Structures are given as C-alpha cells and as structure tokens.
Amino acid sequence: MHAAQILVNAVVLGCLYACIAIGFSLVWGVLNVINLIHGSFIVLGAYLAFGLYNALHISPWYSIAVAAPLFFVLGYLLQRLLLNRVITAPVLVTLTMTFGLDLILNNAMIYFFKADYRKLTLTPSLGSVSIFDVVVPVDRLIATVAALALTGLLYLLLRRSRVGRAIVAVRLDRDAAVLMGVDVKSIYAIAFGLGAALAGCAGVLMALIFPISPLTSSGYLGKAFVVCVLGGLGSVSGALAGGLLLALVEGIGSTFFGPAHATTLSFILLIIFLILRPQGLLGRKGFE
C-alpha cells in the first residue's frame, strides 16, 4: 500500500506541476523566450488568493476567475510595452531582460508582503478521504482537478478557437503565419498574457497547498524548467507527461534517498535529458 500512496501522491503533484509549467511552456514555445518572471507570477497569484480569502472571505475557487483576467492583462501589457522591443534579440538579451523584470517584481513583493511564510488555511478544513490505506486531503484533490481543468481548457482553446489556431501557427512557422495574415505581434502578446494568466491561476491553487512567500518563486520556476525539458517543449500533453514523470521521480527519490536529494535528482535528470533527448518525452515540433 506504500507504493500505492507514492503513486497517488505523484499523480496529484504531477498535475499541479503540469499546471505550473504549462504557461511557461507556451511562452517558450511560441515567443522563444525563457520567461523567468513565471515563478514570481505564481507567487503573486498565491498572494491574490490569500488576500481575497483573508480580507473578503472569497473562496480560492472563485479567486481563479479573478486571477485569470487580471494576470492576462498584466502579461499582455508587459509583453506589448517591454518584451516586444527585444523579442528578436538573442536568447542572452531576452533571458536577462526577464530576469531583470523578475528582480523588480520579486523585490516589490518582498517589500509589500514581507518575506514571511504565510499559509492560506481554509476554515472549516475540508478534511481528507481515504480509500484502503491511501490518504488524500480533499483540498489537494480539488486543486488537482482544477489544475487538470485549466490544462484541458488551454488544450481546447489552442485546438478549437481561432486565436488558438493562430498561436499554433506562429509556433510552427512564424514567417508562414505572417504570410497567412496573422498579426504576430498581437499573437505574441496574447500568448504571453495566457502564460501569465495560467501562472496566476496556478498560484491560486498553490496557495491551497504550499506556504506562500516571495522566496518560493525560484522553486516554482525550477520545476517549470524541469517539466518543460522532461516532457518536451510546447505541447499540453508534453507538460502533463513531464509533470507526472517529475513528480514520480521526486516521490521515489525522496523515499529512497531522502527528501533533501529530490531537487538534486530532478536537476540531474534535467541535464541528462537535455543531453540525450532534448526534444523531451513527447517531443515534436508543434503545439497540438
């Protein structure tokens, strides 16, 4: 039953990891930008949920509906006004740029929210369910379902909507998309906005499970890196596969080597994957 518990934990965590990584993967795939602000966006989303719950008693489930449009606008404007100016520059410039923006946002969060660790505690607590010996807290379960729903929603958006098809077209071949009449600039901004919105929503879900502090942003970012590389860049199914694999490796790794080595293990796995299979588990060019 121990193995079953590890497996269930991995599935729960894996879906959350996928949700963390999917916005990052979208931005990397479509804009070709490694978006280092992603981690801070997640933390900001967590603070939003924390603030709304403590001040107005708005349940985090509804906070998602607030976070999504708010972060979309934030991301859209950030891309349009700042990132768009350097979008054609080499990776060194875009990466350093997002690092600079991340420093600003993170510093602002430390200043306004302090670096203390906080926790969103639902009252009354939702308790946990247990089937045989496998125990899963209900809030985690709901967060997992919500993460899956968000992932599915992005999949549908990219697959069915006009904007989604345009995003996929830009990802596949930017020049051809321009020739077909796609407004690449606005698609870039929309994709970045979507990435930010997904980060904000992921942050709301994280607030339910993990402690909140500006200092946790680099941890989330690291997870997004690993998930993207493991699963393969720029596809929804790749992010899911990467998230599940990472959670499984971390779960098994911390059982056998102790939790302190889980992060080391995941980054070593990342480097091995980069060298041997840079296209990831489900790697192929294209976004659905």
Binding site for another protein (CB under 8 A): 28, 32, 34, 82, 85-86, 89-93, 95-97, 99-104, 106-108, 111, 218, 222, 225, 229, 260-261, 263-264, 267-268, 270-271, 274-275, 278
State CA 8 to chain mean position distance: 21
The minimum distance between CB 96 and another protein, in angstroms, equals 6
**Looking at beta carbons only, is 120 or 227 nearer to another protein?**
227
The minimum distance between CB 282 and another protein, in angstroms, equals 17
Relative orientation angle of helices 2-31 and 38-56, to the nearest 10 degrees: 110
The minimum distance between CB 215 and another protein, in angstroms, equals 10
The minimum distance between CB 221 and another protein, in angstroms, equals 10
**Looking at beta carbons only, is 155 or 225 nearer to another protein?**
225
Nearest C-alpha neighbor of 139 from the set 157, 117, 158, 124: 124
**Looking at beta carbons only, is 278 or 286 nearer to another protein?**
278
Residue pair 153/216 in contact by the 8 Å Cβ criterion: no
Looking up tokens 């972060």 gives 71
Q: Encoding tokens for residue 161?
A: 């909507």
Query: For residue 186, what are the contacts with CB-CB under 8 A and spacing of at least 6?
Result: none
Looking up tokens 């060194």 gives 92
Peptide linkage before 124 cis (omega within 30 of 0): yes
**Looking at beta carbons only, is 55 or 92 nearer to another protein?**
92
**Looking at beta carbons only, is 81 or 138 nearer to another protein?**
81
The minimum distance between CB 127 and another protein, in angstroms, equals 35
The minimum distance between CB 281 and another protein, in angstroms, equals 15
**Looking at beta carbons only, is 25 or 144 nearer to another protein?**
25
* Residue 180 DSSP class: T
The minimum distance between CB 255 and another protein, in angstroms, equals 16
**Looking at beta carbons only, is 15 or 97 nearer to another protein?**
97
- The CA–CA distances, whole Å, from 123 to 53, 61, 70, 201 equal 10, 14, 26, 21
**Looking at beta carbons only, is 73 or 108 nearer to another protein?**
108
State CA 273 to chain mean position distance: 20
The minimum distance between CB 110 and another protein, in angstroms, equals 8
Cα–Cα distance, 62 to 32 (Å, whole number)? 32
Looking up tokens 């600039």 gives 185
Query: For residue 180, what are the contacts with CB-CB under 8 A and spacing of at least 6?
Result: 169
Q: Encoding tokens for residue 159?
A: 């697959």
